[in-house]
Structure 1
Amino acid sequence: MGLTVVSAGGHTWKLTEQIGSGSEGFVYGVDDARPLVAKLVPDPPDPDAYRRRIARLVRQRREPRTVGLLSAPVRLAWPLVPVRTADGSEADRVDGYVMADMRHAYQPFSHLLTTSARRAFLPGATWATALRTTLALARLLGELHAEGYVVGDLKPDNLWVDETGRVGMADVDSWQFTDGREVFPGRMRTPGYTAPERIGAPAGTPPDTASDDFALAVLAHQLLMAGLHPFAGHPADGGDYLSYDDNVLHGRCRLVDRTSVLLPRSVPPVDLLPKRLAELFRRAFAHTLRRPTAAEWAQAVTAELAPGRLKVCAVNAHHVHTVERPWCPWCDQAERGDDSYPDDPQEEA
């Protein structure tokens, strides 16, 4: 028997198939004429606080600082109405909310991060698409910060993208925000997307806009380097590879110190980046420098998308690169054993 959820006002929705899950909850399709889904969170650390959080987010949909963020086209899977499962005893009921179904207009962000997924789902994607996606993500994050929201757990799993590079965001219920005098702290963090100052910090340590800016830089690197994580690589000193976070803490990043990590020859060449963006990455990942903000990223990427800044390879029309590079970096990569943007999307990876 399928689940049924009910709002405080008595409206019921039948849930269909489970379409996603995360560290806190499960997402289900909703039997409704509108493109909706429902997120249920079975065991929040503090159920009363979670219900209050959702109620406040629903209320904030009508506040001036949020209205602009929610204007069409839809970019945020904002909670529309709190719900509870309708069956079982009061103690067994699960809280959650109904939100827009991002699948209606987007694809999972991860489809841009691997060659096989790009070719299957976004066959027209090029490096220009990666730049436009970086710009859209930076602009959206900058708008959220300007209105007092901190994402806190920015990662591919809660992001969406379309073929033009437009970006959407989900998991709004984990954000950090204030409502009146009450602070609703960020609750989550994900290895590989956690700023160094938060790695190893006690549970409950709140995020801030600077920690979001670190995750933005990681995502921008993955977009512009065909999925490569900026802290990927085996320690060049002969030590064991432990994790992205271990490399973050020890500053093992090719863009900060080329001698710090060992990477396969087939990864995209580091000099495919225009100087302006390479410098932002160094500032984002070097522990001693001021991290660029989302607004700075938006400004820099806008400049790289200006007319005359991009060039199409004469050999492969899917190979787009900055005019600062005299020859095609993707052809160089292909000669080393891989091609992130092959010219025939139907070809086997």
Structure 2
Amino acid sequence: MALTVVSDSGRTWHLTQRIGSGSEGVVYAVDDARPLVAKLVLDPPDPAAYRRRIARLVRQRRQPRAVRLLSGTPTRVAWPMAGVRAGGPGADGVDGYVMTDMRHARQPFAHLLTPQARQVLLPRTTWATALAAALSLARLLTDLHAEGYVVGDLKPDNLWVDAHGRVGIADVDSWQFTDGGEVFPGRMGTPGHTAPERIGAPAGTAPDRASDDFVLAVLVHQLLMCGLHPFAGHPSTGGDYLSYDDNVLHGRCRLLDRTSVVLPRSAPPVDLLPRRLAALFRAAFGGVRPPASVWAEALAAESEPARLRTCRRNPLHVHTAERPWCPWCDLAERGADGYPAPDPRPRADSAAQGLKETEEKALWQR
């Protein structure tokens, strides 16, 4: 049965199928000529405060700082267009808002993080696409911070990406921002994508730009390392693996201390990363967090064509020019090809290229 929601101005939208849900709300498709969805928050801690938050965001949509974020095509931010209520204004019902449907131009960010999803849903993407997505995300966060917004709950579930690596973001209602001198604090956090100072902190502990910067580094690592979380791995001391957050709190990270965790042989090697980016990761996870703008500058430099190489055996095997041979072919030999070829038929020069790379490895490893 279709659900109807009404804005404060009396405009009515008809919601159709349920298309997703999260820790707070449920998202429905909207019966409209434009690509729209509606998010309904079922049980906010303070319904009146939530309605005020949405009303301020709707008002800010017309202000210069939001206009700058919403410029360009496709839209990078699924900004609240109108606050709505199921049951109508003033009635007891569920609050929410209408926003742009990111699905019309992008796919869930998580599709870019696993070889299986990429091969089916984003079949032409390469490591260069992952670099482009990391750069797009860093630039988006740079712009958000410059306009006074803190995401607070930066995670794959809130992000969207297209085949070119262009990233968009949703769930604006959980951001931290100010309006007219009033602070609307960030309200959410997600295990595995939370800065260490916020892990286990009392409820209501506000995020800041530095906490966003930590999670940005986590997401960039996942993009460039085939979905691998930087704090993945069993403790090398023999203790039980508990969670990413437990490893974060204890500093168990291969980039900080390669002896701190045990990872499977299928994990991408550290030297897949350009040295400049590896240094930024070590800074971010070691306590001196580079801001999003620094990440953007470094990722732009590493995305230059002169900094990339394409494997002769598989055109989807793109890697940094610092790497003397293809790391994806190495992983493929272990049964963990991060970017499998779209056409599995062997090329005529594969054997010769394989011999050449074997010789190069022997020289490199001496």
* Residue from 295, 306, 321 that aligns with 2:319: 321
Q: Please, what TM-score do these two structures have when normalized by structure 2?
A: 0.92
Identity %: 74
Query: Offset of 1:326 from its aligned partner?
Result: 0.5
Cα distance between partner residues in 1 of 2:85 and 2:207 = 29
Runs of 4+ in 1 over 3 A off after TM superposition: none
Amino acid at match of 2:296: A
Query: What residue is the counterpart of 1:311 in the other structure?
Result: 309
Amino acid at match of 1:57: L
Cα distance between partner residues in 2 of 1:250 and 1:136 = 30
Report if aligned partners of 1:120, 1:345 keep a CA contact under 8 Å in 2.
Answer: no
Mean CA deviation greater in 81-90 or 199-208: 81-90
1:153-168 → structure 2 map (5 Å cutoff): 153-168=153-168
Q: Which runs of 5+ in 1 are unaligned?
A: none
Query: Offset of 1:40 from its aligned partner?
Result: 0.3
Higher helix share: 2
Greater C-alpha radius of gyration: 2
Report if aligned partners of 1:132, 1:164 keep a CA contact under 8 Å in 2.
Answer: yes
Query: What residue is the counterpart of 1:297 in the other structure?
Result: 295
Query: Offset of 1:72 from its aligned partner?
Result: 2.3
Query: Offset of 1:336 from its aligned partner?
Result: 2.1
What's the CA shift string for 1:295-343, capped at 9, x where partnerless? 0000000100123100001111110000101011111111222101011
1:194-209 → structure 2 map (5 Å cutoff): 194-209=194-209
Query: Offset of 1:293 from its aligned partner?
Result: 0.6
Cα distance between partner residues in 2 of 1:296 and 1:53 = 31
Report if aligned partners of 1:78, 1:99 keep a CA contact under 8 Å in 2.
Answer: yes
Q: Across the two proteins, how many residue pairs are aligned to each other?
A: 344
SS in structure 1 opposite 2:191? coil
Query: Offset of 1:114 from its aligned partner?
Result: 0.6
Report if aligned partners of 1:177, 1:185 keep a CA contact under 8 Å in 2.
Answer: yes
Cα distance between partner residues in 1 of 2:28 and 2:151 = 22
Query: Offset of 1:63 from its aligned partner?
Result: 1.0
Cα distance between partner residues in 1 of 2:88 and 2:175 = 29
Query: Offset of 1:276 from its aligned partner?
Result: 0.2
- Tell me: CA distance 1:345–1:194, structure 2 relative to 1, closer, same or farther (3 Å): farther
- Tell me: CA distance 1:2–1:87, structure 2 relative to 1, closer, same or farther (3 Å): farther
Q: Which runs of 5+ in 2 are unaligned?
A: 346-366
Cα distance between partner residues in 1 of 2:318 and 2:188 = 36
1:248-259 → structure 2 map (5 Å cutoff): 248-259=248-259
Report if aligned partners of 2:233, 2:263 keep a CA contact under 8 Å in 1.
Answer: yes
* Residue from 316, 331, 338 that aligns with 1:333: 331
1:1-349 → structure 2 map (5 Å cutoff): 1-73=1-73, 74-86=75-87, 90-91=91-92, 93-286=93-286, 289-344=287-342
Q: Please, what TM-score do these two structures have when normalized by structure 1?
A: 0.97
